[in-house]
Structure 1
């Protein structure tokens, strides 16, 4: 079960993902921020999506920056160069012409303080061995709970790739090198929405950093900020990017704060008490 945590300079930056919907869940703790406590009703089409698929899908979800296995810098760079132009297709969506995440695969690259970065939607045939190696790193497995043979990671990925497009698993490619795993998902259509006052088009992120050489030097924070702003640039209907790191994971929470997220509330999720972190479009130039 993946996580939502990001680490700044800690050795580990886990993330936390919601698992299967196994029963009633505690209600979210209200934020002291009045904007986040508005009693907003989700549109009927969002509710309908929940009803039909809540039990079938693991909400991809909630985490950002767990860290993974230590592959050598530069590993497997060749076939990923230029992937901004030749990205794998985005997962199928609910209906023709209705892309729930505005075609992540076509977002292209973005300049960051640490290099040129882009999100490449996962292709199982190409990426499964690499993602499996990352998930089997003990530091990652403790939070994502996806260690084991390739079939374990494959099942997790297929739930998203064969779904309706509300969650898109991606490799994070930095200067031509795949070095992180991301899940960009519709938080308002996810099981997470049962635990906080979701707004239409809220977009969530989960992240793990795949190489030991890339950990513990603030890379997670730099990429979190860049990706959150990239989401806001490419999804004009989205006003907030959210994440839910484990409240006990101080390095992860700190990384989100460094990336321009604000702490909004504590929420009780099935597997943890989480810090709801929010990056607001309206505040992006101030934080």
Structure 2
């Protein structure tokens, strides 16, 4: 589990803090980087076979059209993405739940076990209409410490996320993208029957976003660092929710 809440739309003073709309406006991808993204999606990020068997390759999942725009996942590369990720982590609204404020080394220490691990958690940028604007972790919940706290099923897949720019908070973008990413997981991981999440119960906007995205509230769970709402989106009922 990450050290703090995977907030969909942080509720703490969403229009205040050290970052604003400019954190996304200056991140428009160049043609060279867009070509790099396309190549990465075609060839994969170079994970070994064992890693790909755990979660596939989220970077190769095709972008989807949403009400907010064209959205896709791009596996994190620290040499490219660290400055913006660290800046997002230092936004007070994000730091209140993720607790990763500080120098870039704090973000690196959070990313490194995932990047150097066996592929059970894949950190990604969420790219909306060519602009990186969110951070996602797609992880095998049944292989995560979370599985000690709920009746996990094989291939349960979890999501953590944060919305990076103030402009994209509080207007339903988190809900739209949560539904899109849950659909991407279910479409590309056929053995996954459920997408799960565990937002902090105190983060009402986050819990509300999951509910609006088709997740159901399953239980309250006591985790080492928080009391969480266990949210589940079932493959069986995805068309009805």
Taking structure 2 as the reference length, the TM-score comes to: 0.89
Q: Deviations over 1:245-285 (max 9, x none)?
A: 11122211111000000001111000111110001111111
Per-residue deviation at 1:84?
A: 5.2
Structure 2 vs 1, CA of residues 161 and 91 (structure 1 numbering), >3 Å: closer, same or farther? farther
Aligned to 2:20: 70
Stretches of structure 1 lacking an aligned partner (at least 5 in a row): 13-66
More off after superposition, 2-11 vs 71-80:
2-11
Count of paired positions? 232
Per-residue deviation at 1:74?
A: 3.0
Aligned to 1:129: 83
Which is bigger in relative contact order (C-alpha 8 A, separation at least 6)? Answer: 1
Structure 2 vs 1, CA of residues 143 and 96 (structure 1 numbering), >3 Å: closer, same or farther? closer
Per-residue deviation at 1:108?
A: 2.1
Aligned to 1:278: 232
Per-residue deviation at 1:188?
A: 0.5
Aligned to 1:229: 183
1:150 corresponds to 2:104? yes
Aligned to 1:256: 210
Stretches of structure 2 lacking an aligned partner (at least 5 in a row): none
Per-residue deviation at 1:3?
A: 1.7
Structure 2 vs 1, CA of residues 178 and 98 (structure 1 numbering), >3 Å: closer, same or farther? closer
Q: 1:3 aligns with which of 2, 5, 21?
A: 5
Distance 1:68 1:243 in 2: 27
Structure 2 vs 1, CA of residues 91 and 277 (structure 1 numbering), >3 Å: closer, same or farther? farther
SS at match of 2:86: helix
Distance 1:202 1:285 in 2: 19
Distance 2:112 2:136 in 1: 15
Question: By percentage of residues, which structure has more helix?
Answer: 2
1:40-119 correspondence runs (5 A): 69-72=19-22, 73-79=24-30, 80-81=33-34, 85-87=38-40, 89-90=44-45, 92-93=47-48, 96=50, 98-119=52-73
Per-residue deviation at 1:68?
A: 9.2
SS at match of 1:155: helix
SS at match of 1:152: helix
Distance 1:97 1:136 in 2: 30
Q: Deviations over 1:160-180 (max 9, x none)?
A: 000000000000000000000
